[in-house]
Amino acid sequence: MRLERNLGMDLVRCTEAAALRAARLMGRGDKHAADQAAVDAMRFALDAVPMDGVVVIGEGEKDEAPMLYIGEKVGSGEPPEVDVAVDPVEGTTLLAEGMPGAIAVVALAERGSLYHWTGIAYMDKLAVGPQARGAIDINAPVDENIRNVARALKKEVEDITVVVLDRPRHKELIRQIRETGARIKLILHGDVSAGIMTAIEDPPADMLMGIGGAPEAVITACAMKCVGGEIQCKLWPRNDDERALAAANGIDLERVYRTSDLVRGENVFFAATGITDGEFLRGVRYFSGGARTYSVVMRSISGTVRYIESRHDWTKLMRISGVDYVHAR
């Protein structure tokens, strides 16, 4: 059965559940406990979604993750058949240290749509919003891409902001960006949020550049498919073992993966809820007896983007979810 039902609001309830559980552990220094809290809540909520889902991007292989592992069946079991990508906490270190930018994310598309090669964990990425779509080429020099994006956005190069993960591997990239005169926004973690930031209204950044997680590239592509942005990626092996793995499996390391290679489906959903405050989404706010969450939900087939502020009463939430958010540890 085709994916015709609008599952957006069902998915945002899953990200809200993960955010509400995980946010109680903000700043406590235990990223594993925070991630597990989010996984527990998201897994419970996903079972109520009317779908026959398979996790293709999740917490790892079955022997590494007890829940939301790759290949796990989620949802009620009824049609439609879908691929599901989850990141219950994007930015576990951010959350554990009480830093900005942690979010809970779910995306889905028709079965067989999402790229999920698991042998190489990293990709070199270049992403822009809809106004600069078509202006980038990951094989072109850094300065050429920045100039082309500036031209597409009708900006001076000096007014372009490029988001880059703050990693030693990006030392040369940062040097090349600085030589153009463009501005740089360094981030510690969270390149899903960083990629999407280039495509929202009044974006705080114009481009994402650099090497990050391959699963995060696919999740970013889901959002880009919904809003009309663009992401281009190339697999980036970390060592000789991964290069040998690619050679043994006939993987072309020079291949450019575009948005529609990473997510081939035409009916794509993306939902995210802020856990800690960030430029993309506000974090969970607590008050006596409940909390407020701030979320976004997108659908590619309609181009709809909804920002949602929700008020949650603890007593009612526990009654309908079966999860004790108040005393989560």
Is 83 annotated to bind ligand?
no
Is 110 annotated to bind ligand?
no
Q: Strand, helix or coil at 220?
A: helix
From CA 183, how far away is CA 207, in angstroms rounded? 10
Cβ atoms of 109 and 83 closer than 8 Å: yes
From CA 73, how far away is CA 114, in angstroms rounded? 15
Is 35 annotated to bind ligand?
yes
Is 81 annotated to bind ligand?
no
Exposure string of 95-112, with b = 16+ CB inside 10 Å and e = fewer, is bbbebbbbbbbbbbbbbe
∠ CA 49-54-55, nearest 5°, is 100
In single-letter form, the type of residue at position 261 comes to D
Longest CA–CA span in the chain (Å) reads 58
Residue 119 gets which letter from DSSP? Answer: S
Is 16 annotated to bind ligand?
no
Would you list which residues are annotated within the binding site? 35, 59, 87, 90, 216
Would you list which residues are annotated within the binding site for Mn(2+)? 35, 59, 87, 90, 216
